[in-house]
Amino acid sequence: MATFLSSIALPAALCAVALVLMLGLINMMRGGSPNRSQTLMRWRVLLQFVAIVITMLAIWALGR
């Protein structure tokens, strides 16, 4: 389980956060819809929470 969390789940979560962040920045630079920016920001915050939870679970599993 620790290997899955640290080598697959965590990089996937970090890539998802980076992707949503880039989409939000592109939307702002192009002058896109403020509603879309707000939605992307909410998704980014949620994905960051998931990434932190996965990180803490991986640290806990590696320490066992």
pTM confidence score: 0.88
Q: Are 2 and 58 in contact (CB under 8 A)?
A: yes
Non-local CB neighbours of 14 within 8 Å, separated by 6+ positions: 51
pLDDT for the residue 3:
87
Query: Over its length of 64 residues, how does the chain's per-residue pLDDT go in tens digits?
Result: 888 888 999 999 999 999 999 999 999 999 999 999 999 999 999 999 999 999 999 999 998 8
Q: What one-character DSSP code corresponds to residue 9?
A: I
Place of tokens 């599993």: 61
